[in-house]
């Protein structure tokens, strides 16, 4: 399976390179004082180099995208992602259309993190229809399958979304959205005892300060039975957007998510800055999130976005620990505040951006009581290969 997957990715990458209609290169430099997002903040810098290309055949297009990410202090976490796939737009009439895509991904980490290497397949189908000139109905279905080197993380997930929006003459848009998702871990299992952690200061959160939390896959103990385990989530979202001409936009968003059945099969859950962690995704929590964003077009056509987000998340099945790793008998619950600023300037052939995030996360698991600053600057260069 993996051999075929790799072959397909290589073929598609070569194919798309030869035929590309569009090609773009991007580079970003990212800095943070808390790479592993925990109380033992660790500084690092990440350099990302990525490319994107596609080729269109009537309503069908092939695409390939690759990204290499290098970490200066934690070089063992460096990784390469290769995506390739195809998509297709099928118009029903002048107001409605279907969209389908099928894609594969290979994720390759260096050394200790290689247990998180995976191949994945994704199928996505969407439908959009203008019910009238001021109302849009959208729905989509997504299927994801990930096959990790360490099979305890293997899963298949299904998601369905339906949304409806309405634009009013006051230049206000209201939008409501309903999401349902199911994620099935195909082979989680119990370790009879805690596996010894091969602490490597260069790859462990908190530099191996005596806590089992970290980036080594062996420390994500599974507390499930040997057969598969599923998690089912359901969420409601709302959006209010207000336009003030073409240069100012304001939006408020809210989301509430429930776990309908199942729970996380992991011992704990982590998020890393710009490095994917298989224990965390939209299925791992329930709670709510509120956000606001102001978008401005400044002189010299500079685009500025200011955002503020608060969230409260509970992680079913995840018990909080103290710093000595004693179970506290309570489910982990996090409250997060985030401020973000992003400025972008588009030039004729390339665009540049600078962004800054500040996050404060408070948790009843003291290890995840943390705050962090995240800076990024980047450039994207578009190289036309097709016709006008």
Q: Is 114 helix (H, G, I), strand (E, B) or coil?
A: helix
Total number of residues that touch another protein (CB under 8 A): 91
83 lines the binding site for another protein (CB under 8 A): yes
Figure out which of the listed residues 192, 193, 196, 245 binds another protein, where binding follows CB under 8 A. Answer: 245
Cα 101 to the center of its chain, rounded Å: 18
Site for another protein in 315-354 (CB under 8 A): 340, 342, 344, 346, 348-349, 351, 353
Q: Which residues pair with 242 in a beta bridge?
A: 172, 250
CB-wise, 130 or 184, nearer to another protein?
130
Site for another protein in 103-122 (CB under 8 A): 103, 122
Which pair of tokens denotes residue 284? 């791992």
378 lines the binding site for another protein (CB under 8 A): yes
CB-wise, 209 or 342, nearer to another protein?
342
7 lines the binding site for another protein (CB under 8 A): yes
**DSSP assigned state of 76:** G
Cα–Cα dist 222/227, whole Å: 12
Cα–Cα dist 186/146, whole Å: 10
Site for another protein in 128-167 (CB under 8 A): 128, 130, 133-136, 140, 165, 167
Which span sits near another protein by CB under 8 A: 23-31, 112-120, 256-264, 318-326?
A: 23-31
Strand (E) or helix (H) holding 27: strand 22-32
Which span sits near another protein by CB under 8 A: 7-15, 208-216, 228-236, 322-330?
A: 7-15
Site string (36-75) toward another protein, x via CB under 8 A: ------------x---x-xxxxxx-xxx-x----------
Cα 261 to the center of its chain, rounded Å: 23
Which pair of tokens denotes residue 246? 């073409």
27 lines the binding site for another protein (CB under 8 A): no
CB-wise, 224 or 279, nearer to another protein?
279
Nearest-approach distance from CB 340 to another protein, in angstroms: 8
Nearest-approach distance from CB 12 to another protein, in angstroms: 7
DSSP result, 155-188: EEEEEEEEEEEEE-TTSEEEEEEEEEEEEEES--
CB-wise, 22 or 200, nearer to another protein?
22
Which pair of tokens denotes residue 222? 């599974």
Which pair of tokens denotes residue 300? 């010299």
Distances (CA, A) of 123 to 126, 295, 336, 385: 10, 32, 32, 28
Which pair of tokens denotes residue 252? 């408020």
CB-wise, 176 or 384, nearer to another protein?
384
300 lines the binding site for another protein (CB under 8 A): no
Cα–Cα dist 287/70, whole Å: 34
Figure out which of the listed residues 131, 174, 190, 248 binds another protein, where binding follows CB under 8 A. Answer: 248
196 lines the binding site for another protein (CB under 8 A): no
Which span sits near another protein by CB under 8 A: 190-198, 227-235, 247-255, 326-334?
A: 247-255
Cα–Cα dist 27/381, whole Å: 9
């Amino acid at each position: 399976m993996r051999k075929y997957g790799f072959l397909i990715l290589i073929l598609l990458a070569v194919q798309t390179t030869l035929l590309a209609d569009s090609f773009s290169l991007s580079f970003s430099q990212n800095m943070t004082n808390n790479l592993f997002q925990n109380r033992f903040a660790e500084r690092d810098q990440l350099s990302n180099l990525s490319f994107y290309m596609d080729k269109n055949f009537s309503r069908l297009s092939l695409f390939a995208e690759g990204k290499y990410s290098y970490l200066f202090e934690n070089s063992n976490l460096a990784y390469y992602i290769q995506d390739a796939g195809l998509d297709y737009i099928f118009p029903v009439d002048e107001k409605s259309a279907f969209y389908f895509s099928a894609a594969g991904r290979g994720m390759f980490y260096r050394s200790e993190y290689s247990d998180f290497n995976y191949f994945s397949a994704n199928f996505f189908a969407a439908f959009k229809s203008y019910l009238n000139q001021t109302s849009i109905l959208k729905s989509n279905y997504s299927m994801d399958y990930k096959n990790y080197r360490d099979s305890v993380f293997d899963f298949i997930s299904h998601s369905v979304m339906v949304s409806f929006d309405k634009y009013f003459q006051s230049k206000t848009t209201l939008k409501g959205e309903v999401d349902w998702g199911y994620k099935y871990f195909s082979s989680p299992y119990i370790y009879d005892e805690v596996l010894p952690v091969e602490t490597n200061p260069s790859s462990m959160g908190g530099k191996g300060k005596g806590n089992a939390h970290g980036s080594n896959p062996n420390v994500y103990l599974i507390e499930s039975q040997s057969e598969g385990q599923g998690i089912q989530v359901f969420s409601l979202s709302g959006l209010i957007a207000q336009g003030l001409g073409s240069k100012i936009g304001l939006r408020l968003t809210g989301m509430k998510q429930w776990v309908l059945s199942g729970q996380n099969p992991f011992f704990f859950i982590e998020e890393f800055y710009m490095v994917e962690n298989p224990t965390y995704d939209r299925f791992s929590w329930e709670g709510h999130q509120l956000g606001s964003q102001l978008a401005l077009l400044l002189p010299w056509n500079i685009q500025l976005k200011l955002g503020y987000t608060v969230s409260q998340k509970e992680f079913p099945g995840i018990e909080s620990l103290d710093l000595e790793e004693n179970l506290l008998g309570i489910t982990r619950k996090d409250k997060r505040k985030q401020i973000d600023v992003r400025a972008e300037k588009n030039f004729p052939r390339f665009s540049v951006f600078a962004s800054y995030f500040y996050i404060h996360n408070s948790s009843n698991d003291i290890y995840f009581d943390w705050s962090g600053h995240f800076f990024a600057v980047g450039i994207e260069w578009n190289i036309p290969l097709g016709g006008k």
